């Protein structure tokens, strides 16, 4: 049986929307390749929030097939084409995120990159989850 211990060192600024660290004891580790909206088929929309939601859905589908749930996710690396577009979408992104993830916030990193393999993609999410034995 796994146990997740969120870490919030007092020397670090209180995080908002992520966790500084998660110490895991027990469990099996699942590594999830970068998922874009195209992971579920054609990218149907140029909308950043829709693409984020579809990429997150694809990550969660890999977790589900492995026997896990959203709360098993420990790390997200989010790649975006535009940090400005990400920051300008925080409210609707948060709503979509909470619909899928509830109040669970893994460790996260956000990186702006110049392009994706699929030129229509605006966001890609890579993740790690720890599942029960």
What percent of the chain is predicted at pLDDT more than 90?
97
CA distances from 126 to 8, 14, 34, 54, 108 (A): 23, 24, 4, 13, 10
Averaged pLDDT, 1-24: 94
The average confidence (pLDDT) of the chain is 96
Assign residue 49 the CATH number of its domain.
Answer: 3.30.1330.40
Is the pLDDT assigned to residue 1 strictly greater than 90?
no
- Determine the pLDDT at residue 117: 95
Averaged pLDDT, 4-27: 94
Global pTM value = 0.94
Is the pLDDT assigned to residue 122 strictly greater than 90?
yes
Is the pLDDT assigned to residue 75 strictly greater than 90?
yes
Domain that holds residue 76: 3-131
In the chain, how many domains are there?
1
Over residues 24-61, the pLDDT tens digits come to 999 999 999 999 999 999 999 999 999 999 999 999 99
Continuous H helices in the chain: 48-65, 83-87, 90-101
């Amino acid at each position: 049986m796994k146990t997740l211990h969120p870490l919030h060192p007092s020397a670090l600024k209180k995080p908002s929307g992520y966790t500084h660290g998660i110490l895991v004891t027990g469990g099996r580790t699942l590594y999830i390749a970068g998922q874009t909206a195209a992971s579920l088929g054609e990218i149907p929309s140029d909308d950043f929030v829709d693409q984020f939601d579809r990429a997150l859905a694809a990550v969660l589908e890999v977790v589900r097939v492995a026997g896990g749930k959203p709360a098993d996710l420990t790390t997200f690396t989010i790649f975006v084409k535009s940090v400005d577009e990400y920051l300008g979408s925080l409210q609707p992104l948060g709503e979509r995120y909470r619909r899928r993830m509830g109040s669970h916030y893994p460790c996260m990193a956000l990186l702006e990159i110049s392009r994706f393999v699929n030129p229509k993609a605006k966001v890609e999410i890579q993740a790690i989850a720890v599942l029960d034995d």
